[in-house]
């Protein structure tokens, strides 16, 4: 029997994603401000959005962690003290950092903040974990390059109140726990300061020294090859092993992903974790959970380093494209129990006659055909083609705000 709380930690690239993550079952979310986070391309949070998001989360018993995990240069440090003071006033639950200098600044300017050590710090052993614990770190976000056996050994050799966090789902980095120089070299964008251009997903050829301009595919494929392109991490089949290895917080990657990705991934892992925690001795993996995860845009899946070191089978050499079998078509804004009509905000084209799937935080969803679509003036229409158009649809079953509509993609 697991005698500790297991946290499901979700990404939130903006305020809307934070709300969906909380509603769909995350225990905590991690967010980035507009500076000092490692996702410069995400919308990220203004101070005002942070205030609203923290209030929303705390009202529902959820926690909010803020990333300040860039590897800073001298110039980055100039804004840090004032930013930390603002964070300290926001009642956030922790900051996630990777740099010793940043940690010193947190202690000096925001000493009340709980500190989590980012995976960027490459923590791979218990002595390093104990060192950070002595500096005041409450949680270690472990390097992705650890096996279950190594994690168990760390857990056995660190204080009980030092929490361990590990990734369970999402994109993998070709570099060691995200410390990548390739983006800086190839595109002049520093991955360690939040501007990664993802050159690991690019297509590469070999050029022989004495034959410049003659591009040779590395494999016998006219497309070339994707040297560094990893499959996505997915540990849904191994929830018992993850929990029993000693991990306290199970982390989903994806601050730049859609609200549909966040909501659906959270609801599936929430279901699996709850089923295991309810009765570990009777737990059985449900293959439908994996099928649900595949209904979100994804690459092929891998278990990363947890079971053994990755091999060529954990790389994708032919393409960096995502597998996308379903379209996210709308979210429910309101529902009228008397008429059965739902106000929908469209996210992809919706047609009268479409067969759709409806999902909500309770995990179980349902299918239905769309028999009628009304525009904002209650005029019947055949298609909703405009981005974020407001429409009304009659639902076969009661729904609620934050429910999501999706449909299977037709073959091109």
Mean per-residue pLDDT for 126-154? Answer: 97
Three-class secondary structure of residue 218 per DSSP: coil
CA–CA dist 266, 12 (Å, integer): 11
Q: Which residues contact 56 (CB under 8 A, 6 or more apart)?
A: 18, 19, 22
Q: From CA 76, how far away is CA 231, in angstroms rounded?
A: 33
Provide Rg for the chain, Cα atoms: 23
CATH topology of domain 326-408: Elongation Factor Tu (Ef-tu); domain 3 (2.40.30)
Q: Given a cut of 80, is residue 337 above it in pLDDT? A: yes
128 Cβ contact list (under 8 Å, min separation 6): none
Q: Look at residue 221 and tell me whether its pLDDT is greater than 60.
A: no
Please name the residues in contact with 165: beta carbons below 8 A apart, sequence gap of 6 or more: 9, 116, 139, 140, 141, 142, 247, 248, 249, 250, 251
Range in 90-94, 121-125, 160-164, 181-185 with the lowest mean pLDDT: 181-185
Over the chain, what is the mean pLDDT?
88
More confidently predicted of 348 and 226: 348
Nearest-angstrom CA–CA distance, 237 and 81: 43
The pLDDT value recorded for residue 220 is 43
- Average pLDDT of the segment spanning 42-56: 89
Position 341 scores a pLDDT of: 97
pLDDT tens per residue, range 116-130: 999 989 999 999 999
User: Given a cut of 70, is residue 228 above it in pLDDT?
Assistant: no
List, as one string, the DSSP characters of 99-154.
-HHHHHHHHHH-TTS-EEE-GGG---SHHHHHHHHHTTEEEEE--TT--HHHHHHH
DSSP 250-307: EEE--TTS-HHHHHHHHHHHHHHHHHHHH-GGG----HHHHHHHTTSSB--EE-TTSS
Is the backbone of residue 172 left (phi > 0), alpha (psi -120 to 50) or beta?
Answer: beta
Over the stretch 249-279, which tens digit does the pLDDT of each residue have? 999 998 889 999 999 999 999 999 999 999 9
The Cα 376–Cα 383 span in angstroms is 13
SS3 content of the chain, % helix, strand, coil (to 5): 30, 25, 45
Segment 109-118 shows an average pLDDT of: 96
> According to the model, what pLDDT value does residue 336 have?
96
Token look-up 């982390």 returns 251
Q: What is the pLDDT of residue 25?
A: 98
Q: What is the DSSP letter of 209?
A: T
- Domain map of the chain by residue range? 7-175+230-314, 326-408
Task: Specify the pLDDT at position 109.
Answer: 95
Nearest to 229 by CA among 293, 299, 278, 160: 299
* Secondary structure of residue 98 in the 3-state scheme: coil
DSSP 8-state secondary structure symbol assigned to residue 79:
T
CA pair distance 29, 58, nearest whole angstrom: 11
Which of 118-132, 185-199, 250-264, 363-377 shows the lowest mean pLDDT across its residues? Answer: 185-199
Alpha carbons 276 and 42: distance in angstroms, whole number: 33
Q: Do domains 7-175+230-314 and 326-408 have the same CATH topology?
A: no
pLDDT band at 298 (very low <50, low <70, confident <90, very high): confident
At 227 the pLDDT is 55
**Which CATH code for domain 7-175+230-314?**
3.20.20.70
Mean pLDDT throughout 325-350? 96
- The lowest-confidence range among 89-93, 188-192, 277-281, 334-338 is 188-192
Which of 109-118, 185-194, 348-357 shows the lowest per-residue confidence on average (mean pLDDT)?
185-194
Instruction: Quote the CA–CA distance of 54 and 91 in Å, as a whole number.
Output: 8
The span from the CA of 141 to the CA of 154, in Å, is 12
Question: Residue 354: is its pLDDT beyond 80?
Answer: yes
Minimum mean pLDDT among 152-156, 313-317, 381-385, 402-406: which range? 313-317
Average pLDDT over residues 97-113: 96
319: confidence class by pLDDT, cuts 50, 70, 90 = low
> Which residue would you say has higher pLDDT here, 126 or 33?
126
Q: Could you count the other beta carbons within 10 Å of the beta carbon of residue 152?
A: 16
pTM over 0.85: yes
Which of 197-206, 277-286, 325-334 has the least mean pLDDT?
197-206
Per-residue confidence (pLDDT) for residue 366, from 0 to 100? 96
Q: Which of 224, 222, 172 is nearest to 198 (CA)?
A: 172
133-146 mean pLDDT: 96
More confident residue, 35 or 226: 35
């Amino acid at each position: 029997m697991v005698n500790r709380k297991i946290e499901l930690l979700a990404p939130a690239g903006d305020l809307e994603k934070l709300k969906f993550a909380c509603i769909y079952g995350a225990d905590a979310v991690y967010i980035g401000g507009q500076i000092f986070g490692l996702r410069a391309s995400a919308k990220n949070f203004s101070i005002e959005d942070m205030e609203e998001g923290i209030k929303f989360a705390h009202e529902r018993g959820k926690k909010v962690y803020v990333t300040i995990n860039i590897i800073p240069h001298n110039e980055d440090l100039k804004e840090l003290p004032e930013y930390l003071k603002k964070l300290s006033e926001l009642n956030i639950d922790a900051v996630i950092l990777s740099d010793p200098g940043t940690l010193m600044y947190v202690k000096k300017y925001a000493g009340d903040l709980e500190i989590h050590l980012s995976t960027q710090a490459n923590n791979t052993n218990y002595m390093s974990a104990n060192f950070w614990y002595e500096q005041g770190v409450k949680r270690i976000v472990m390097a992705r390059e650890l096996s279950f056996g190594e994690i168990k050994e760390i857990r056995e050799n660190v204080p009980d109140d030092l929490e361990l966090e590990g990734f369970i789902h999402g994109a993998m980095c070709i570099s060691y726990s995200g410390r990548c120089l390739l983006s800086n070299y190839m595109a002049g964008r520093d991955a360690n300061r939040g501007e990664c251009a993802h050159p690991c997903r690019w297509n590469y050829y070999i050029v022989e020294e004495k034959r410049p301009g003659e591009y040779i595919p590395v494999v016998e494929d006219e497309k070339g090859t994707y040297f560094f392109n990893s499959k996505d991490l997915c540990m849904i089949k191994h929830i018992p092993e993850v929990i029993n290895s000693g991990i306290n917080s199970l982390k989903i990657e994806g601050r730049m992903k859609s609200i549909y990705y966040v909501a659906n991934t959270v609801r599936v892992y929430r279901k699996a974790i709850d089923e295991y925690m309810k009765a570990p001795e009777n737990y059985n993996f449900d293959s439908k959970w994996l099928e649900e995860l595949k209904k979100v845009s994804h690459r092929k899946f891998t278990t990363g380093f947890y079971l053994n070191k990755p091999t060529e089978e954990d790389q994708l050499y032919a393409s960096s494209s995502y597998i996308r079998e379903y379209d996210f078509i709308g979210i429910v804004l309101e529902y009228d129990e008397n008429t059965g009509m739902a106000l929908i905000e469209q996210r992809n084209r919706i047609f009268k006659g479409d067969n759709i799937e409806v999902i909500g935080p309770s995990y179980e969803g349902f299918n239905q055909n769309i028999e009628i679509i009304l525009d904002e003036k209650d005029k019947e229409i055949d298609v909703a083609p405009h981005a974020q158009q407001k429409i009304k649809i009659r639902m076969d079953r009661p729904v609620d705000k934050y429910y999501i509509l999706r449909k299977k993609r037709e073959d091109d």
